[in-house]
Amino acid sequence: MLDLLVLWSWEYDIEFNLLLAQACAGQDVQAAFVGEEAVATVPRQLSDGTLRARCVLDRAWDEDTQDHIAAVQQHVPQVLNDYDLARRAWNKPSTHYLLMQHGLNVPHMLVLPSLRAQPAIAEVDLRPLGGKFSVKGAHSGGSGVLSAKSTWQDVLAARALWPDDETIAQPWVEPVLLGERRAWFRLFYCLGEVMACWADDRTHLQSPVMPDEVAHWELQPLDGMMQHIAQVCGLNLFSTEIAYDRNFGWLVVDYVNDPCDFRPKSMVYNGVPDEVLWRIAQKIARWARENR
């Protein structure tokens, strides 16, 4: 019986898998990693008992790869992130309104139907978005490298890039400067713990927020907002982006991302700081050990 089964399919997860394997070994947690094509064999192995596990971290599923989910739900008692809750979080408009209903500050959002559902749409008043705004798909996986838009033609051009998805437009967020840093943060939530990183919205370079910086720049609200988001979305592992906008103050700008991009900074310039990934790996290993 495995303590932890890790399902993965993205080649860039290998480095995080190595960290997680090290954390599991250090805590006497028996773990197995099943990746890429082998994930397709998981339903049969779980059903016939050749594969047994108490806990699963599933980073292999998406809208196209879901055949193993029913077997995991039937045969593995603990799944780190509930599938239905994660699926709900993928829809940014739904998450936007959910967070807003629970008192979290989010930018104004304009939602347009997909090109496939409604090829021709009447021009919409963009004035509530201000002179500059961002445009992305409703199920986009993170903020990515965005450029400011300013016209209806910009909206239509972007809408054509994801014809099967809704389009969302939001006011352009301009973070204040805290010293020489832009007040934009990527935060990771893992099983009750919040790990905050400076995450420059222009370069996307990340570095851990240090305790003295929390006190000096009065960043204490970040932890509370992340704990609140976790209560609302119900997930145990996700990332969020939060900025301090010069006009609107604290804003949750990228909601709930699952799965997280766990490429380490030691491997890619805009990756997650290795020490943050190590803390996440340690938390997951401890969770699996406690669920024996």
Per-residue model confidence as pLDDT tens digits over 2-52: 999 999 999 999 999 999 999 999 999 999 999 988 999 999 999 999 999
Query: Is-same-fold flag (2-81+283-290; 108-171)?
Result: no
Q: Which CATH code is given to the segment(s) 2-81+283-290?
A: 3.40.50
Q: What was the pLDDT predicted at 66?
A: 87
pLDDT band at 143; cut points 50, 70, 90:
very low
Q: What is the 3-state secondary structure (H, E, C) of the chain?
A: CEEEEEEECCHHHHHHHHHHHHHHHHCCCCEEEEEHHHHHHHHHHHHHCCCCEEEEEEECCCCCCCCCHHHHHHHCCEECCCHHHHHHHHCHHHHHHHHHHCCCCCCCCEEECCCCCCCCCCCCCCHHHCCCEEEEECCCCCCCCCCCECCHHHHHHHHCCCCCCCEEEEECCCECEECCEECEEEEEEECCEEEEEEECCCCCCEEECCHHHHHHCCCCHHHHHHHHHHHHHCCCEEEEEEEEECCCEEEECCCCECCCCCCECCCCCCCECHHHHHHHHHHHHHHHHHCC
Domain coordinates of the chain in residue numbers?
2-81+283-290, 108-171, 175-257
Q: Which has the minimum average pLDDT: 29-33, 141-145, 228-232?
A: 141-145
Residue 80 predicted with pLDDT over 90:
yes
Q: Which CATH code is given to the segment(s) 108-171?
A: 3.30.1490
